[in-house]
């Protein structure tokens, strides 16, 4: 069953369909507390694997790919469903329901932080904690709000993906990782960016970079931990403070490390902050 079929029907998808569609991986004991990891734009669940395995001995760990990313069912990609972050939030809700979980700790990188927030507003009983790694409620500048990008920047990014996706990936990866001392991480991010199907990479980028969740921040009642790195060109350092000032139950931790992919460059640091919540 594709998401187009799902969009035309009120019948819920079976758990087996969701698990297959989102390439869900479950690690750890069946009776353990559940931690769900969500990946950011242009990547997949493998970016969380090293951190997830640190918790799999005691906790039930859930990894998944948003439709269009990684090993997900590309045939289920429906541009109508995924024309806003709400479609991805619905994916997350369906994954949690499919594994039979409640009161999960959701750890989301980048845009997944906001996807998790939207899902928690819709289904608060599913979430005990949100841990957001380098999140942003809006990427484009808007009056006094500085998101870090101009509209023309985003349009140029979209044009670059369409014109030459491998070249775009090769130029962007070093800038977003901001860690020349870790060439293996740069190469990995570059490979993931280049591997995303081009139509998904372009459409998802448009949805992400033109998204605006600022008006929903006050509705996020789930306790939240915002992990903000320094020197992040995707999510400027002041964004963390902006978020916690507007989220009712949020705490900010400033990480003493640079770049947007800190879960790859500093996995033990991120794992340490997850442990503080656990």
Task: Report d(CA 146, CA 236) in Å as an integer.
Answer: 9
Contact 239, 85 (CB under 8 A): no
232 part of the active site: yes
Task: Report d(CA 107, CA 109) in Å as an integer.
Answer: 7
110 part of the active site: yes
Give just the sign of the alpha carbon dihedral 48, 51, 54, 59: negative
CA-nearest of 239, 232, 220 to 259 is 232
Task: Name the CA radius of gyration of the chain, rounded.
Answer: 17
- Would you give the distance in Å from CA 157 to the centre of its chain? 19
Task: Report d(CA 32, CA 224) in Å as an integer.
Answer: 21
3-state class (DSSP) for residue 193: helix
Task: Report d(CA 198, CA 53) in Å as an integer.
Answer: 30
Contact 59, 33 (CB under 8 A): yes
3, 69, 72, 110: the catalytic one is 110
260 part of the active site: yes
Q: String of b and e for 238-247 (b: at least 16 CB within 10 Å)?
A: ebbebbbeeb
- Would you give the distance in Å from CA 180 to the centre of its chain? 24
Task: Report d(CA 4, CA 81) in Å as an integer.
Answer: 8
Q: Which residue has the tokens 């993906």?
A: 161
Task: Report d(CA 211, CA 195) in Å as an integer.
Answer: 23
Catalytic residues: 110, 232, 260
């Amino acid at each position: 069953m594709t998401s187009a079929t799902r969009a035309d029907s009120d019948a819920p998808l079976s758990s087996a369909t969701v698990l297959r569609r989102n390439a869900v991986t479950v690690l750890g004991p069946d009776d353990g507390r559940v931690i769900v990891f969500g990946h950011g734009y242009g990547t997949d669940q493998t970016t969380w694997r090293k951190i997830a395995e640190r918790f799999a001995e005691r906790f039930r760990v859930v990894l998944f790919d948003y439709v269009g990313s990684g090993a997900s069912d590309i045939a289920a990609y429906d541009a109508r469903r995924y024309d806003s972050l709400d479609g991805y939030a619905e994916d997350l809700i369906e994954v949690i329901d499919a594994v039979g979980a409640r009161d999960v700790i959701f750890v989301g990188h980048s845009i997944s932080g906001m996807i998790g927030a939207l899902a928690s507003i819709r289904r608060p009983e599913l979430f005990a904690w949100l841990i957001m790694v380098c999140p942003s409620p809006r990427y484009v500048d808007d009056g006094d709000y500085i998101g870090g990008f101009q509209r023309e920047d985003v349009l140029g990014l979209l044009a670059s993906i369409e014109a030459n996706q491998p070249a775009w990936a090769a130029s962007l990866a070093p800038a977003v990782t901001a860690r020349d001392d870790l060439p293996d991480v740069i190469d990995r991010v570059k490979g993931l960016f280049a591997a995303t199907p081009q139509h998904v990479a372009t459409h998802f980028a448009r949805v992400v970079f033109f998204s605006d969740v600022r008006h929903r921040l006050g509705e996020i009642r789930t306790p939240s931990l915002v992990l903000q790195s320094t020197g992040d060109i995707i999510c400027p350092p002041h964004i963390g403070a902006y978020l916690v000032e507007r989220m009712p139950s949020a705490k900010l931790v400033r990480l003493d490390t640079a770049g947007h992919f800190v879960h790859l460059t500093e996995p033990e640091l991120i794992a340490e902050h997850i442990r503080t919540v656990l």
